[in-house]
Amino acid sequence: MTYLDYNATAVVRPEAAMAVARALEAGGNPSSVHAAGRAARQTVEAARTRVAGLVGVAPGSVTFVSGGTEANALAIESARAAGLERVVVSAGEHDSVLENARGALVMPLDAEGVADIDWLKANVGEKTLVCLMLANNETGVIQPVAEAAQVVRAAGGWLHVDAVQAAGKIAIDFTALGADTMSLSAHKLGGPQGVGALVAGTRATLARRLHGGGQERGRRAGTENVPGIAGFGAVAEVSGHQVEWRDELAERVRAAGAVVLGEGAPRLPQTLCFAAPGFASELQVMSLDLAGVMVSAGSACSSGKVKASRVVEAMGRGDLAPYAVRISGGWASTAQDWRRCGDVWLEAYARIAARKREVA
């Protein structure tokens, strides 16, 4: 089996599985004062320190939540509660941002999938919440977050950065980027699903979405997901890249007639998005799956259906959107995985092309 769909969810790293198992075995509620409770608290705080280190902040800036979706929702709700009513989102944002920021103004993308900072300058307005992801989940394109931060800061706004796809793949410095809040999700870097974090800088006050006990310093009630948090802490680091293997595959599919998307922009080192006109995304995903190669068409839609890529459409390439696929590797991927993906894809593409010639 060849798994190249890390942007949907990464293969769980053994360190994470071990940390989860250890925390489950140890038990204890971090709010209890006895020895088991104190040990669980220690597990949570050690993980907080590691997650904080991943983005270069103090541990107190990290609030553990249930994943990237909750982190995005909490950031948007917090900014609104702080009086920022005008909201701008980039056209490439994940659904968990778009759905929580309905009615927002949309910052367009250029043909390479990069958000238009000149548009932002002209539209930022006073007291605006701007949501700009650090790296796009479909194309891997890295966004000009630091530039956006300057614009947002000058206007007295709030910059929320969804770093769910970037974390663990590239180095991140929260302060240098100038973010006010930042979302992270453990399962995109080899940790367990259902745990993430919202990082908040000193200018951001988080709203209380869940009321109850005073966990997470009153910012997020509910007994902490200790095993999940322990697993997150165990993988909070940048893992190896695979640019060469990714680019070798890009060359092969391009030679066959595919168009590589976002190639002119800085991208995550393990993501490749391309479109092969005439070879529908769904058919590509299914053909590869039949041969044991798992990839995806744009973002993994919750219904399991394949939709034309909204991000590729936003890049002005609506003509290519129905034909786009995303290949994304990670810590356990090998050169062999990338090569096999290319072999299988090229075979399937040749078969489709031959069939089309027969019909014509």
Binding site for ligand PLP (CB under 6 A): 67-69, 72, 94, 96, 133, 137, 162, 164-165, 185, 196
> Phi and psi for 324 in degrees, rounded to 5?
-90, 140
Q: How many other CB atoms are there within 10 angstroms of residue 38's CB atom? A: 13
**CA–CA gap between residue 297 and residue 321 (Å, rounded):** 10
301 is catalytic: yes
Beta carbon nearer to ligand PLP, 2 or 271: 271
Beta carbon nearer to ligand PLP, 139 or 165: 165
> Phi and psi for 50 in degrees, rounded to 5?
-70, -40
Beta carbon nearer to ligand PLP, 67 or 342: 67
Amino acid (1-letter code) at residue 31: S
Beta carbon nearer to ligand PLP, 72 or 242: 72
Shortest Å, Cβ 142 to ligand PLP:
12
**CA–CA gap between residue 358 and residue 360 (Å, rounded):** 6
Shortest Å, Cβ 343 to ligand PLP:
28
122 class by beta-carbon count within 10 Å (0-12 exposed, 13-18 middle, 19+ buried): exposed
Shortest Å, Cβ 164 to ligand PLP:
4
359 class by beta-carbon count within 10 Å (0-12 exposed, 13-18 middle, 19+ buried): exposed
* Per-residue b or e along 173-183, where b marks 16 or more CB atoms closer than 10 Å to that residue's CB: ebeebbbbbbb
**C-alpha pair distances (Å), 353 with each of 45, 256, 279, 308, 349:** 56, 10, 9, 21, 6
Shortest Å, Cβ 148 to ligand PLP:
16
Shortest Å, Cβ 216 to ligand PLP:
17
Shortest Å, Cβ 68 to ligand PLP:
2
Amino acid (1-letter code) at residue 99: E
Q: Give the pair of three-digit tokens for residue 274.
A: 């391309």
Angle between helices 335-359 and 243-255 (to 10 degrees): 10
Beta carbon nearer to ligand PLP, 162 or 224: 162
CB 89 within 8 A of CB 97: yes
The residue sitting closest to ligand PLP, measured at its beta carbon, is 68
Shortest Å, Cβ 266 to ligand PLP:
16
* Catalytic pick among 131, 273, 301, 341: 301
CB 183 within 8 A of CB 196: yes
> Phi and psi for 317 in degrees, rounded to 5?
-115, 50
Shortest Å, Cβ 137 to ligand PLP:
3
Beta carbon nearer to ligand PLP, 7 or 287: 7
Beta carbon nearer to ligand PLP, 32 or 239: 239
| Chain center to CA of 285 | 20
Edge to edge, the sheet with strand 86-90 lists: 62-65, 196-200, 181-185, 158-162, 128-131, 86-90, 105-107
Angle between helices 35-55 and 14-26 (to 10 degrees): 160
Beta carbon nearer to ligand PLP, 129 or 344: 129
Angle between helices 226-234 and 35-55 (to 10 degrees): 40
Report, as residue numbers or ranges, the catalytic residues.
301
